[in-house]
Amino acid sequence: MNETLLKVDNLVTHFSIRGKPIPAVRGVSLEVKKGKTLVVLGESGSGKSVMLRSILRILPKETVTSGQVLYNGEELLHKSEKEMQRIRGSQIAMVFQDSLSALDPLYRVGEQIGECMRDHGTAAKGTIRGKVTELLTKVGIPSPETRMRAYPFEMSGGMRQRSVIGMSLANTPQLLLADEPTTALDVTIQAQILTLFKQIQREYGMTVILVTHDIGVAIEMADEIAVMYAGKIVEYGDVSQVLGSPAHPYTKGLIEATPRPGQREELTAIPGQPPSIANMPAGCAFAERCRWATERCRAEQPEYISIGGGHYSACHLTESSTA
């Protein structure tokens, strides 16, 4: 399967703060093939979640988004809100980090999953209960008949996240957007949820964009990786290219800051903090934290340089090393 399901071109998202446009996503372009997983990797505040929400158009009204988001060849940014409501939850679903706020505390979990099917008319009234039980079984919830009557607060974090994943599958979407889906869970449950993601992706042939700050999750899940920093993708390629032969200093920094099994040496953290989105520097946004930064880096934004085989890096250093 090599067909493109989602193509994003030069996506720009601005928040409006006191009438001033503040750029949170600054020209993101990416492409996801059917049945594949793209992991968007980066620190908190890099614009990953805003980018995901821009694709699904679930940002506050004052936000301005431009560029192109082609889903199955259709432009999502030009669709009416009514058309987007039809697409959300049926063709494209989203799993959020915080399962407690993704579920309505006043309704039983089974009712909420059934509601998704009713809203999109994907199951006949008499079949909904059976389908909810089937879904809860699929996502590994024991005693689903009993569990579907539970309120969200009566479930553990892992069970709630399984329920949210079940809800996202209610209408068998083609594209699943997952925003740090395991961050709030402990390591054991995290591993179980990632295994569940892989199982359902295989079974449903689903395409996934998964946002994470965790390299371990990226290694486990990714076919391709987009490394994001200060609202831009700074490196892009398949998992072995980006994590095996990283080209961008930011990707190298992330790898050096991640513990490896059996490692004895101290980890090297990336110094400093990402720039404020309200005050982006003129040149490379990573310059203040980069050990290789030059005057050119501070003055001029780097372009994407092809390293070959679909591997790209936005760094002046890449340009000079491949010139």
- Interface contacts to ligand SF4, rule CB under 6 A: 249, 284, 286-287, 290, 292-293, 297, 302, 315-317
**Main-chain dihedrals φ then ψ at residue 245, nearest 5 degrees:** -130, 65
Q: 192, exposed or middle or buried, with CB in 10 Å at 0-12, 13-18, 19+?
A: middle
CB of 163 to ligand SF4, least distance (A): 42
Q: How far is CA 57 from CA 53, 88, 165, 179, in A?
A: 6, 9, 20, 14
Looking at the Cβ atoms of 275 and 302, the one nearer to ligand SF4 is 302
Looking at the Cβ atoms of 30 and 284, the one nearer to ligand SF4 is 284
CB of 293 to ligand SF4, least distance (A): 4
CB of 42 to ligand SF4, least distance (A): 14
CB of 154 to ligand SF4, least distance (A): 48
Is residue 238 within 8 A of residue 316, CB to CB? The reply is no
Looking at the Cβ atoms of 204 and 304, the one nearer to ligand SF4 is 304
Looking at the Cβ atoms of 207 and 318, the one nearer to ligand SF4 is 318
**Main-chain dihedrals φ then ψ at residue 181, nearest 5 degrees:** -70, -15
Looking at the Cβ atoms of 164 and 297, the one nearer to ligand SF4 is 297
CB of 229 to ligand SF4, least distance (A): 9
Tokens of residue 250, six digits: 């930011």
Looking at the Cβ atoms of 55 and 297, the one nearer to ligand SF4 is 297
Looking at the Cβ atoms of 83 and 300, the one nearer to ligand SF4 is 300
Q: How far is CA 309 from CA 8, 36, 163, 250, 304, in A?
A: 20, 17, 39, 20, 14
Is residue 4 within 8 A of residue 34, CB to CB? The reply is yes
CB of 298 to ligand SF4, least distance (A): 8
CB of 252 to ligand SF4, least distance (A): 9
Neighbours of 167 (CB within 10 A): 26
